[in-house]
Amino acid sequence: MGSIGSMVKPTNGFLTALVQYPVPIVDSRADIDKQIKEIVRTVHSTKAGYPGVELIVFPEYSTQGLNTKKWTTEEFLCTVPGPETDLFARACQEAEVYGVFSIMEKDPDGGDPYNTAIIIDPQGEIILKYRKLNPWVPVEPWQAGNLGLPVCDGPGGSKLAVCICHDGMFPEIAREAAYKGANVLIRISGYSTQVNDQWILTNRSNAWQNLMYTLSVNLAGYDGVFYYFGEGQVCNFDGTTLVQGHRNPYEIVTAEVYPELADQARIGWGLENNIYNLGARGYVSTPGGVKENPYTFIKDLAEGNYKLPWEDKIKIKDGSIYGYPVKNTVRS
C-alpha cells in the first residue's frame, strides 16, 4: 500500500518528497531570482536529507508568488524553456531526481499568460509541460490551457500527470489523467485556508475514483493577506490517506509509492473498478458492457453546447470583482 516515508529508495516503486514551500513575497524581478535560487537550494538539501528520493514536488506559485498587481507584467513572466527552467534542470541533473516546478508562462503568441507546470527528469530534460486547464476564476487572469493533460514516464514504473490547484476540484481532470494511463496524479496548489477541507476530500476522491495515487502539495505560511495551509498529502489508489503534512512552511512530506499496485488493481479488481466500469456499464447483463454515452453534459460539452439550467442567473462571469477589465463575451 505504501508507507509514511523513508530516506531510501524502495525496492519497487519510488520515494517522493513534497515540499510545503513558504509562500513567496514577490515585489520585483530580484525577488523572483531569489526564489529560484532558494528552490534550487531546496532540491539539493532535500536530496541530501533523503538520499533515496527520486521525485521532488514544489507547489504552485513557488517561483513567482501571488502578487496580483504585478503577476501578469512582463518582468514577472517566464518562458518555457527559459533561463529559469534551465536552472531547475541543472539542479535535477546534479541531484539525480525528477522535479515538478511551477511557472507563470509568457504566451509566445502574445496573448494572456499561462499557469504552467513542468516535470524535469534526472537528465535535466523537460519531459512534461502542462498549462492549467481550469484557472481559478474570477481570481486568476491566466488563459485556459491548450495542451490537454499530458502523461509521461516517471520513476519506479510510474506514469505521471500533473494538474494545478483548482483543476483538482473537477473530477474530469483526474479521470482524463487516468484514461490516458497515469497511475500517479500530482497536484500542485497555492490555495489559502478557505478550501482546506475540500482539498483533502478531492485528493482522496480523485485517487479512489480512478484507482491511482495522488501526490498533492500546497504553499504554506502567511503572505500578509492569506494563510496557506501546506498539508502535503499522499493518497493510496483506494482513496485512503497514506501521509498528511501539517501547516509548517518548509515541511517535507515523504512517502513510498508503488505504482505497480495501482496497475494491479486496475487489472485485477472486479468490484469498484471505477475507471473501467464507466465505459462498460452493466457488463454482467451485456457482454463487454454498454458503450453508448448516457450523459447529457458530456455530449453538450463535446459539441460546445455546455450550458447549465441556471446559467443565465449566474452573477459572476468575469474578473471585474478583482479589477480585471471586462472582455468581449464569447458566448451569450
How is residue 326 annotated by DSSP? P
How is residue 327 annotated by DSSP? P
Catalytic status, residue 60: yes
Catalytic status, residue 180: no
Task: Name the β-bridge partners of 17.
Answer: 56, 254
Q: If you write DSSP's letter for every residue of 119-188 in order, what string do you get? A: EE-TTS-EEEEEE-SS--TTT--PPPPSS----EE-GGG-EEEEEEGGGGG-HHHHHHHHHTT-SEEEEE
Sheet with 241-244, edge to edge strand ranges? 152-153, 159-164, 184-189, 213-218, 233-235, 241-244
Place of cell 447529457: 296
Q: Quickly count: other Cβ atoms within 10 Å of residue 171's Cβ.
A: 13
Q: Which of 165, 176, 235, 256 is catalytic?
A: 165
Sign of the dihedral defined by the CA atoms of residues 206, 207, 212, 218, in that order: positive
The answer to whether 43 touches 58, Cβ cutoff 8 Å, is no
Q: Which of 47, 106, 129, 132 is catalytic?
A: 132
The answer to whether 116 touches 129, Cβ cutoff 8 Å, is yes
CA angle at residue 113 from 112 to 115, to 5 degrees?
140
Closest CA to 245 of 259, 260, 261, 234: 234
Q: Which of 47, 54, 60, 78 is catalytic?
A: 60
What positions carry a catalytic annotation?
A: 60, 132, 165
